[in-house]
Amino acid sequence: MTTEELKEALPNFTDPALLKQLLTQGQIMNLKAGKVLMEPGQFIKMVPIILSGSIKISRMDDEGRELFLYYLDAGETCALSLTCCSSSKPSEIKAVVEEDTVLIGIPITAIDHFSDEFKQWKDFVANTYQSRFQEMLVALDAVAFKRMDERLMQYIVTKMKQHKTNELSTTHQEIANELTTSREVVSRLLKQLEKKKWIELGRNVIYIRDDFEELISK
């Protein structure tokens, strides 16, 4: 990959010296959907910056239940990974490749150097912390204040936008895991949406109306 190609993938980085260092220090990785990139308790050796595709970031409890936090999309990195790097602490999150993804992994040994040398990197880190904090607040508010049917409908909208499709290939159990509820609750709520003709359920697939987001906002 050239610096021009990297600049196209990461438009927030325009400093030629920073782009060159990212390529020199970083490692380009091609990851298939479903790959577990990070587990809780592992020590982080690199900070991922997404060039294309997406990665799902979740928290896990002691019983293995999962709480979805946010997605990493093109041009983004993980604030929690940056935090663990700076404090030399093990990971507190699970990172799973949501769709085929290309990323550049920046070794933790280079992070301090980038922060000292490049203002654009410091701005990138600061903006990452701010945006991820807001997203985690949204996730916490959903758990604390929203009914499960509202959370499910918003989950469907998020997935549609994430994958840019109206056909979601997933199981009821996978949805339940992400929403920290039971499969039975998810199945019941999906059936209610199907009765309204807002969605159609297939085998491990959900077909969603084009105007679904508009319907749920009424």
User: pLDDT by residue (tens digit) across 135-180?
Assistant: 778 777 777 677 899 889 989 998 888 888 899 999 999 898 888 7
Q: Confirm if 30 and 52 have CB atoms less than 8 A apart.
A: no
Q: Give the number of other CB atoms < 10 A from CB of residue 102.
A: 15
Q: For residue range 168-206, what is the model confidence (pLDDT) as tens digits?
A: 999 999 898 888 788 899 999 999 999 999 999 999 999
At residue 63, what are phi and psi to the nearest 5 degrees?
A: -95, 5
At residue 89, what are phi and psi to the nearest 5 degrees?
A: -105, 155
Q: How far apart are CA 39 and CA 123, in angstroms?
A: 28
Q: Give the number of other CB atoms < 10 A from CB of residue 213.
A: 15
Q: How confident is the model at residue 59 (pLDDT cuts 50, 70, 90)?
A: confident
Distances (CA, A) of 30 to 7, 104, 171, 182: 18, 9, 26, 34
pLDDT at 43 over 90: no
Beta bridge mates, 58: 68, 94
Q: Which residues, at least 6 apart from 171, have a Cβ–Cβ distance to it below 8 Å?
A: 204
Q: Give the number of other CB atoms < 10 A from CB of residue 120.
A: 16
Residue 137's pLDDT is what?
80
Q: How far apart are CA 119 and CA 136, in angstroms?
A: 26
